[in-house]
Amino acid sequence: MSKALICHVNSYLHLPSPQGSQVNIYSTDQIYIPVAGYPKSIQEEWEVPGITAVDAAFTCPHSSDLYLIRGNRMFLVDLNTRKQSGAAKTIIHSEVDSAMCNAHGLYIFHGPSYYHYKDVEELLAATEAPAAGNIASYFLDC
């Protein structure tokens, strides 16, 4: 099952369907409460021509940019306008299960492995993937 998670301004967005085609948003003031009117299709939520499913979605802290990953293409969406901003960019990862961006950087997840980048710009400039880390040992302390 494909899942993509993003966090943005007291909301938690979750794309849980097998094809990553639905958007669910939860309020995070105290507990995760589904926001009325969701799930919605990606096309209903954002204007990204030709994209009906994604493999991963994320925002970075203090940013109104949403990044959607489908295959090895990354799309930028301005959350203020809900429209795609600029052309899609090619990334070196062709298989992405999820992604996360926080104060420590950008993490791309695939299977049991993660790949760490300083920021989105470093991912876009990469010509080869950094050494893979183990999700269980790094994030779950297993």
Alpha-helical (H) ranges within 1-142 are 42-45, 120-125, 135-139
CA–CA distances in Å: residue 14 to residues 75, 104, 106: 17, 21, 18
- The structural domains of the chain, with segments of one domain joined by +, span 6-140
Candidates 2.110.10.10, 3.10.150.10, 3.40.50.720, 2.20.25.160; CATH matching 6-140 = 2.110.10.10
List per-residue pLDDT tens for the chain, 142 residues long.
333 434 333 344 444 433 467 777 766 666 677 778 888 888 888 899 988 889 999 999 999 999 999 999 999 999 999 999 999 999 999 999 999 999 999 999 999 999 999 999 999 999 999 999 999 999 887 7
Dihedral through CA 44, CA 72, CA 125, CA 15, nearest 10? 40
Q: DSSP class of residue 47?
A: B
